[in-house]
Structure 1
Amino acid sequence: MKKVLSAIIVLFVLALSAGNLFAQTTGRISGKVIDQKTSETLIGATVNIQGTTKAAATDVEGHYVISGLEPGRYTILVRYIGYQSKTISDIEVKAGGNTPLDITVGQAESKALNEVVIKATYRQESVGALYAIQKNSVSISDGISSELIRKSPDRNTSDVLKRVSGTTIQDNKFVVVRGLSDRYNTASLDGAPLPSTEPNRKAFSFDIVPSNLIDNIVISKTASPDIAGDFAGGNVQIMTKDIPDQNFVTIGVGAGYNTLSTFKDFKSGYRSTSDYFAFDDGSRKLVANFPSTEQIVNKQVTGTRNIQSINSLNNDFSVYTNKALPTQNYQLTIGNVKEIGANKNRFGTTVALTYRNSQNITPDLIQRFNDYDYHNSLYKFSTNVGALANFAYSFGKNKITFKNLYNRILDDQFTYRTGTNLSTSSDNRFYAYDLLTKALFKSTVEGEHALGEKNSKIKWNLGYSNIVNDQPDQRKVNYKSLNGGDYVAQVTGLQKENARFFSHLNENIYSGKVDYSLPVNLFKQSTLKVGLNSQYRDRTFGARFLGLVLNTNNPNYPNASDILTRPIETLFGQNAINAGLYNLDELSNPTDRYTANSLTNATYAMLDSKIGEKVRIVYGLRVEKFDLNLESADKTKAKVNLDNLDFLPSVNFTYALTPKANFRASYARTIARPEFRELANFAYYDYELLATVQGEPALKRTSIDNADLRYEFYPSAGQIFSVSAFYKRFQNAIEPYIDDQNSSTTISYFNSKSAYVYGFELEARKALDFVNDSKFFKNTTAYANFSFNKSQVTNPDVVSAKDERLEKKRPLVGQSPYVINAGISHTELDNKLSLNLLFNRLGKRIFYAGGQTYSSVYESPRNVLDFQVGYKVIKNRGEIKFSGSDILHNNYNFTYELDGKPYVPSGQGNIFRNYNIGSNYALSFNYTF
């Protein structure tokens, strides 16, 4: 991956040197020409500057560019066969600038000899085009644009997604749509599917993708045949930028302050310089000639080889203390576009580098579970580096794009835990050094071509993604004190609180698809669309549980047990290791290693039909064939095989009640397939959850019936009022299974007996000019979205008394009964000054499902308030931003509840977890050349 990053940097430098970025004396007009009834782009429309010979034709995406315009005001004329001609006046062009203008045109009412020309001004046309795009989407969806992202303090995609109606974020990175947890949602980046980034769950970590690289995000909440059918909540589609409208170079720098962390004492384990660049220097990994599992388990590693092997590990357990530095952000983005040849074909590049480093402290995380009463101090060092290199060439009625994204996150967390284990009457001091690196590389080649006189269109996509999840040397050591005595290190045996965990996950995804659309003579206006796509996933995973075990019976060292009272810094000291007092040991389980692959082939056919002036129906069938194979290194365990063929019909109905209002209805059958990790019999002890996570090979896929209704009203461009209702019925819903009867809790998975979820959503975005028509209220926009969700899962039938659970029925894990997003924005001084205030609250939701002994754990609501103030300087090319996130800094509170009432499982109260992460304030500066 270092070679990949180096290649992207080289491309970045080439893009920087391409073109004359700073000597532009003329300007340009660019945008799209679209059908005002359907928002379909029109290919081959002509756009003329009246009174000149300058003109352009729209490409395969309906995009046009007219460049080389002297500063001034212009009028353009748009013509397209079968449509009314249109003029747009009062278009201002500035030197070195681009004037964006999307244009809507309507179909001709008759074949009259006299041409009718519709007239509009620049402002009227901008408003009308935006309104048409909003109103004419195929399915029920919500989204957010790059413009709104820039007005929020959000740094990555996970922060952005929580602004979308009906969407919440769990663990600050996993998306929940309509109350359905991450496993029921899918994601794609630039048209290619994204894999699960997590080794222990089906989820994509959205904090990987920096927000400044996003062009837009759309969440489809209803299915259509051309969308992959493996989702129930939402299909998250992230698009990054390709051909820019004009040449630019943007630099950004920023610093952040956390009220509980910055300039406070920050504790950590071993740190290398490369950690600041999100790469481990290799000192934590096992060396190439490290003994195999079989050699260690069979006691073949003794004497000198034992000592050498132990010394090859990083045995620096010192706790280092420094001051937590402010959060740092650096961004560099370059856009370049060239017109080539007499036809003015366009070649564009967008290249970006991002860097972020943060050091955050959670000073007192209270944790009570299974007779534990613990207080934790968490110190998290995090670095995120990313690179984007997108290239696109548009020629005639064709466009080819080549998009690349690389992102890498290094999280190094040191945990110091104190507290009591009531089951052993011991007081504890626990140390955990936990480094995790995640990397995503994605490359996509896409082509779009218009064919024939009818402008039928073929679109194809080839994608490759690679996910790496590396956990080199997670180290845990616990000290116990009984009856007020000395604290004694628990290193006389290898167990979950004295172990070194090494794991590596690598997954490749190869995908390809082709879509063909053809206008057909059916009803008033119809488009037939058919397609094929295929996706192959290949994963390898391996883990090792190692540790050093003190031999207290060594006759040469009768006082060896004294080592147990050493402090953590010298517990594994060189003198003790070289004296042979420690033996290398390993907990061996062949299920800790598995390989898996899956192949999904799909085909679909759909019709998008306009029936009269007001009715639009999009309907069709998608067929998916899914094959999965998973095999662990334990040959006594049966291989896991899934072989499913699914027929997924869907229909989306839209009725135009008025020119500004729609009524929508939809039905779709979708599925949710088990993830590799959910099927693998691998058992992993999560010291943060105090539980072991284990897969279930017998899982079945989930089948979901989805029904939706929606009323939407668009009073003007950029403004909306909508009401939506939905219902989902699950067959074989996949849910966590909690076995908490033993001293060690296990989390596995099962197919529930039955489950359903229903709810409604409200969304409103409106300028406040209805209060009065003053400039202040015209420049102020308020928005809010509210969703109500109700779900119920019926637990499996009781087979024996030991399966009896406290809860027979409960909500889905991660489901919030309500979600509130609200905000207000205001601009002043001719848009130089911008003010934004954002609010978020979500209702009480299950974090950890209950079992036989403990009820479910619920996450309590929090009020989250964010703000941002921006001011443009240096001829509007620069902008200073001051932002604050989570400024109310409410505690995160998790409690046991049963039937809506507090549940006290062990006399410690009903608190499961409680902590605070403080507020974040940031100052940044961006400048565009």
Structure 2
Amino acid sequence: MKTHRLFVLSPLALALGTLLSSTNALADDQATPSNDIEEIVVTGSYVKSLEKAIDLKRVNIGFSDSIVASDIADFPEQNLAEALQRMPGVTIERNKGLGQKVNVRSLPSEFTFVSINNLATASGSGGRDVEFDMFASEIIQSVTVKKSPTAADEEGGIADSVAITTARPFDYDGRQLVVSAEGAYNDISEKSDPKFAVLASDTFGDWGALASFAYSKRSNRTDSNSGINFRPLSRWLEKTGKSQWQADQAADVLLRDTGISINDRKNKDETSRVVFLDKVGDRAYLTEQDKWGATLSLQYKPSSELSLTFDGLLGNFDNHEDEYDAAAYTASSISSLEKINQYDSATLSDYGITVLTDVDYAATQHEFLSKENSQDTDYQQFSLTLDWQLAAWKIYGIVGYSGAEKQAETTNLKHTAYRPTRTRYTSTGGETLPSSNPNTFDMYNSPDAYLFDYYEVNQEHINDDKYATQLDFKRDLQLDFFPALAQIQFGVRVTDKSKERDYGTNRVKGPSEGDSSWVGVRTLADSQLTDISNLVSGGEYLSEVDSKVNWMQIANSYARNELRYTGFSVAYEPDQYYKVKEKTLALYAMADFHFDIATMPATLNAGVRYIDTKVHSSGYHQVQNEDGTTGFTAKPVSKDGNYKETLPSVNFALELTDDLLLRAAASKTFIRPALTDIAYKRSVSLNEFKYRDGNPDLKPTYADQWEFGLEWYLDEGALLAVSYFEKEIEGVVRESLTGVVNNVTKYNDNGTVDGIYDFDIYQKVNAEGSYDVSGIELVAQLPLSYFDEMLSGFGINANYTVLDNSLTGASDLGIPTPPEGLAEETYNVTFYYENQRFDARISYNYKDKYVERIERDMYPVYRNAYGQTDISLGYRVNDMVKVTLEGINILNEETTGYTLNPVFPTMYEFSGRRLSLGIRGNF
């Protein structure tokens, strides 16, 4: 029987091929250096694909989980991240209704190492985390999540590694042509989007060729009452000179209305424990995305002993987002407290924090912001892979390149009105109302009051390049003097990575270059205004919320056409440039041992990996002009860094019975710091009174980890598994105060002096100490026919992960908080039914609350627990054609967040349901 391998065609892909025995699959896998189990063989049945995933889990030496082509195909998804979310221990981070980043075992996304065809993936971000939204899932063949690394793995990651593969021509038996098409509808934007994919593969004697292409378009509207955050009262209490009245008035009103007396206005530990709402915003987004991906695989395979393969992966992700924001910034530079209507000193009393929940402000800065966010990312990956059986040796080699180039443009058209108004918390966020001051106004319906500030255009260009060369040797052994030693393997890998960034900005303030005649003169009413529901399409703003607002705003298309004068351009600024280079040499050796304990077969894999890393970073430091003029001067700087590490690993499996398997694993692993964090540069944040410095001396974050588990393989493809794991994580990268620059003059947008302040210097450092993460993971795949034949075709596929972690003090106020991105509880449950003609699935994914960021390095901001329900229905018209109906977020769950406690919400966001109808076929 020949091996068949399925190319993924999203929810509309047709799962092809026949199921191969686990023995043959394992034999094929021995050609790969790291036991990746690259040959993924499936049928057109979702049930059979689950059974195959179990086979792969069983034969792997370490803890792992896999999804295969039809498993991905049988669920609704918008990109690769969403295709992975139903794997045990895997959750995703969503952004405006779209899965964007992957978390494994609830740890932060930057702790996950991702590879495609054994090459580390590039991305357009500045971090190590991968932007999964730029990958079309249609071009992906299989995914394996490795939860216990071997020495042969390039880097284990702390949260574990995600290994992605694409298809090759000899994975199929003869000629294949697979096509699919789909239309999807979003119920908020009320727009329909197309998606299609095609794959063609054939073999010609010793040669084979495979090509695939996938395209999708996505239009999605998101309504959000968001942007709400704490601001410490030090904002005004530290004012001096001509602004002294703001400090005095804030202190007097605080004492009068709450009884709180400030003893030292310069003591941040005291003044930061009285907070108010810095901003309340109503936002509407319209996101339009075009994405395509293509693969090409050319394979020369004259025999089972030799295979030479070229794999190419190309893709483009064009993301355009219109954002319209009606916002009130209570902490304006000319404002102060006027009257405290309500405050809360009880909810956060454990931290000594009083929240001013309902306040009249003297001069809130009201803004209408029309913003465009455009990103165009080109992705490419090329590799040449050798699999060669030379006498008793199996040789594996790869030479490859992975690159991403991102061109981004953001615009912001800003109109401002300073008026006394009232801002307060609501059950879902916050709102701004007219105050009792006679000079107040209705911020949503007073376009004549808003004056033009500027129309700003920012452009950014990022190049991310990664080169790799690897050579591995493997040999099976049968030694009379050491019969337990079954295999040895060793190899070397060299990588060269670089990330380069350019950035520039230009502001329009008048009808021509250098002209500022519009500033403070032109009003919002002088431009063409459009109702918010027409700007983003789809009807009334935040229709799910009882408290509704409506306003008119300037369209981004109008701003682009009318406000950019002839000859307008944006030049890259030398002081915004940085480049980071990273070169690594890795050597490894490991061995497999097969032996019996009593009458129970055992397998042991033990090895060690040595890594030598060199870093060169260059950029600029921004320092205030020494000649007394307004602004900052950039000085070029560069620095080298390096680190070396030895990473051991052990994986053990023991067959207690034919159906019951015990596993154990232990390893030391790391994840490297983000390239943007090691870029040697200094940037200034005027609003936060901070400098931020890069740090080329950053070291990786390390983890000592171990795991113990039992896996019970039952009849009819059933599985019950439980494992306990612990990770001791040290060297976590945190932003820390490393210095102070005294007497920095801060200027307002109009050039006037805001004040003279001491600016803190913050830098990413490896935090001292460590924290522990432990957890239990449960997996249950149960065809219900196992209990009763009357339930044939029904089944459940579920997994649950719960974590316990020691808290860390990432807050400058000493507020204990878990690591950013870590959720304590996640689970996925899928109920399914399948027969020869019809299949149905309903899936629920849940992720517990987690810290999204530390606001101003003081106040933890949480993303609330989120659960989403998706469905999939399929009807097979004949052996070649299948029709599908699928739904994403069918219960229309909202995304919410809060600061420290849910009574202080930060966001309330709707992205709507998404329904799709499609057809797929094999010809």
CA positional deviation for 1:638: 4.2
**For the residues of structure 2 that align with 1:240 and 1:439, how far apart are their CA atoms?**
18
**1:593 and 2:562 aligned:** no
1:614 partner SS: strand
Q: Are residues 564 and 715 of structure 1, via their aligned partners in 2, closer, same or farther at CA, if it must alter by over 3 Å?
A: closer
SS across alignment from 2:826: strand
Amino acid at match of 1:510: Y
Deviation at 1:489, TM superposition (A): 6.2
Give 1:398's aligned residue: 306
Question: Residues 398 and 450 of structure 1 are in contact (CA less than 8 Å); yes or no, is this contact kept in structure 2?
Answer: yes
1:748 positional shift: 6.1
2:366 counterpart letter in structure 1? D
How far does residue 758 in structure 1 lie from its aligned partner after superposition?
1.2
Query: 1:183 is paired with a residue of what secondary structure?
Result: helix
When residues 159 and 131 of structure 1 are mapped into structure 2, their CA distance, relative to the original with a 3 A threshold, is: closer
Q: How many residues align?
A: 728
Partner residue in 2 for 1:337: 203
Structure 2 partner of 1:641:
640
**Cα distance per residue 1:747-806 (max 9 Å; x no partner):** 9633223222111100010110133123xx22122111000012235336xxxxxx8414
SS at the partner of 2:656?
Answer: strand
Measured against aligned partners, the alpha-carbon deviations of 1:191-236 in whole angstroms (never above 9, x if no partner) come to: 111124313x331111222222222100111111000235111110
| Partner deviation per Cα, 1:259-310 (whole Å, 9 max, x = no partner) | 1112xxxxxxxxxxxxxxxxxxxxxxxxxxxxxxxxxxxxxxxxxxxxxxxx
The answer as to whether partners of 2:510 and 2:519 remain within 8 angstroms in 1 is: no
Shift of 1:887: 0.6
Structure 1 residue corresponding to 2:331, chosen from 423, 440, 447: 423
For 2:174 and 2:380, the matched residues in 1 are separated by 27
The correspondence for 1:352, drawn from 193, 209, 212, is 212
User: What displacement does 1:426 show?
Assistant: 2.6
Q: Which residue of 2 aligns with 1:192?
A: 119
CA contact (8 A) 2:808 2:819 kept: no
CA–CA distance in structure 2, aligned partners of residues 196 and 638 of structure 1: 25
* Whole-Å separation in 2 of the counterparts to 1:577 and 1:29: 59
Q: In the alignment, is the contact (CA less than 8 A) between 1:738 and 1:851 conserved in 2?
A: no
**Residue 207 to residue 646, structure 1, CA distance change in 2 (3 Å):** same
Confirm or deny: 8 A CA contact 2:281 2:327 kept in the other structure. yes
* Cα separation, 2, equivalents of 1:688 and 1:924: 49
1:764 is matched by which residue type in structure 2? A
Deviations 1:136-186 (A, max 9, x none): 211111121112111111242101111111111113211111121121111
Match of 1:215 in 2: 141
> Is this contact kept in 2: 1:823–1:839, CA < 8 A?
yes
Aligned to 2:465: 508
Partner of 2:58: 135
**How far 1:560 sits from its partner (Å)?**
8.7
For 1:913, the equivalent position in structure 2 comes to 907
Report the equivalent of 1:755: 771
Once the two structures are TM-superposed, the CA of residue 554 in structure 1 deviates from its matched residue by 11
Corresponding residue for residue 592 of structure 2: 608
In 1, Cα distance between equivalents of 2:502 and 2:406: 11
**Deviation of the 1:34 alpha carbon:** 6.2
Deviation at 1:481, TM superposition (A): 4.8
**Conserved? CA contact 1:376–1:418, under 8 Å:** yes
| 1:707 alignment counterpart | 706
Identity of aligned residues (%): 17
SS at match of 1:658: coil
3-state SS of paired residue (2:141): strand
Name the CA shift for 1:838/1:793 in 2 (closer, same or farther; >3 Å).
same
* Aligned partner letter, 1:197: G
The offset of 1:462, in angstroms, is 1.0
- Superposed displacement of residue 690, structure 1: 14
In structure 2, C-alpha distance between the alignment counterparts of 1:608 and 1:390, rounded to whole Å = 32
Distance in 1 (alpha carbons) for counterparts of 2:495 and 2:661: 36
Is the Cα contact below 8 Å between 1:386 and 1:407 reproduced in 2?
yes
Q: 1:64-116 CA distances to partner (integer Å, 9 max, x unpaired)?
A: 9xxxxxxxxxxxxxxxxxxxxxxxxxxxxxxxxx9989xxxxxxxxxxxxxxx
> In structure 2, do the counterparts of structure 1 residues 447 and 411 end up closer, same or farther at CA, with 3 Å as the change threshold?
same
Distance 1:337 1:555 in 2: 66
Paired residue for 1:674?
673
Encode CA deviations 1:35-78: one digit per residue, 9 max, x unaligned: 48x9334999xxxxxxxxxxxxxxx99999xxxxxxxxxxxxxx
Is the 2:53–2:68 contact (alpha carbons within 8 Å) kept by the matching residues of 1?
no
Contact 1:631 1:640 in 2 (8 A): yes
User: Quick check: 1:661–1:714 contact (8 Å CA) kept in 2?
Assistant: yes
In 2: Cα distance, 1:694 partner to 1:426 partner = 30
User: Structure 1 residue 824 and structure 2 residue 823: aligned?
Assistant: no
* 1:836 maps onto 2:836 in alignment: no
Displacement, 1:890?
A: 1.2
Worse-superposed segment, 243-252 or 679-688: 679-688
Cα gap change, 1:502 to 1:685, in 2 (>3 Å): farther
Q: What is residue 766 of structure 1 aligned with on the other side?
A: 782
Q: How many Å separate the matches in 1 of 2:609 and 2:793? A: 46
Alpha-carbon displacement from aligned partner over 1:810-853 (angstroms, at most 9, x marks no partner):
2111111110101011112xx22111111111111111125565
Q: CA–CA distance in 1 between the matches of 2:691 and 2:785?
A: 57
| 1:115 corresponds to | none
Shift of 1:465: 1.1
Return the offset for 1:509: 1.1
Cα distance between partner residues in 1 of 2:84 and 2:776: 19
Residue 920 of structure 2 corresponds to residue 926 of structure 1: yes
TM-score, L = length of structure 2: 0.72
Superposition deviation, residue 743 in structure 1? 13
Whole-angstrom CA distance in 2 between matches of 1:150 and 1:471: 32
Which residue in the other structure is 1:871 paired with?
A: 875
Partner of 2:344: none
Conserved 8 A contact 2:366-2:418? yes
Q: Which AA in structure 1 matches 2:62? A: S
CA distance in 2, matches of 1:698, 1:738: 16
- One-letter code aligned to 2:306: N
Aligned CA distance change for structure 1 residues 685 and 512 (closer, same or farther; 3 Å): same
What secondary structure is seen at the aligned counterpart in 2 of 1:918? coil
Shift of 1:550: 4.0
Tell me what 1:271 maps to. Answer: none
Counterpart pick for 1:561 among 521, 526, 532: 521
Equivalent pair of 2:513/2:568 in contact (CA under 8 Å): no
CA contact (8 A) 2:894 2:910 kept: yes
Query: 1:480 is matched by which residue type in structure 2?
Result: A
Amino acid aligned to 1:814: G
Residue in structure 1 matched with residue 173 of structure 2 by the alignment = 245
- Return the letter of the residue paired with 1:767: P
Aligned counterpart in structure 1 of residue 401 of structure 2, from 464, 470, 479: 464
**Residue 815 of structure 1 corresponds to which residue in structure 2?**
822
Question: Which of 82, 91, 94 is equivalent to 1:159?
Answer: 82
CA displacement at 1:561 relative to structure 2: 2.7
RMSD: 3.9
Q: Say if 1:708 and 1:620 are closer, same or farther in 2 by CA, change over 3 A.
A: same
Residue identity in the other structure for 1:222: S
Cα deviation for residue 475 of structure 1 reads: 3.9
Q: Residue 326 of structure 1: SS of its match in structure 2?
A: strand
- Provide structure 2 residue ranges, at least 5 long, that are not aligned to the other structure: 1-15, 232-277, 333-363, 420-439, 528-553, 622-633, 741-756
- Report what 1:789 is aligned to: 803
Structure 1 residues 426 and 720: alpha-carbon distance in aligned structure 2, compared to 1, 3 A threshold: same
Mapping of 1:493-504 within 5 angstroms?
498-504=455-461
- CA pair 697-100 structure 1, distance change in 2 beyond 3 A: closer
The answer to whether the 8 Å contact 2:509/2:516 transfers is: no
Amino acid in structure 2 at the alignment position of 1:356:
S
Alpha-carbon distance in structure 1 between the residues aligned to 2:327 and 2:42: 63
Match of 1:620 among 601, 604, 607: 607
Alpha-carbon deviation of 1:692? 10
CA 394–716 in structure 1, closer or farther in 2 if over 3 Å, else same? farther
Question: Structure 1: how far apart are the matches of 2:223 and 2:675?
Answer: 35
Q: Distance in 1 between matches of 2:687 and 2:843?
A: 31
1:631 equivalenced with 2:618 (yes/no)? yes
Asked whether the 8 Å contact 1:877–1:927 carries over to 2, the reply is yes
Q: Which residue of the partner structure matches residue 326 of structure 1? A: 192
Amino acid at match of 1:135: R
Q: Is the contact between residue 136 and residue 292 of structure 2 (CA under 8 Å) also seen in structure 1? A: no
Q: Which amino acid aligns with 2:370?
A: Y
C-alpha distance in 1, partners of 2:283/2:290?
Answer: 23
The answer to which structure, 1 or 2, has the higher relative contact order (CA under 8 A, 6+ apart) is 2
* C-alpha distance 187-924 of structure 1, shift in aligned 2 (>3 A): same
* Alignment TM-score, normalising by the size of structure 1: 0.72
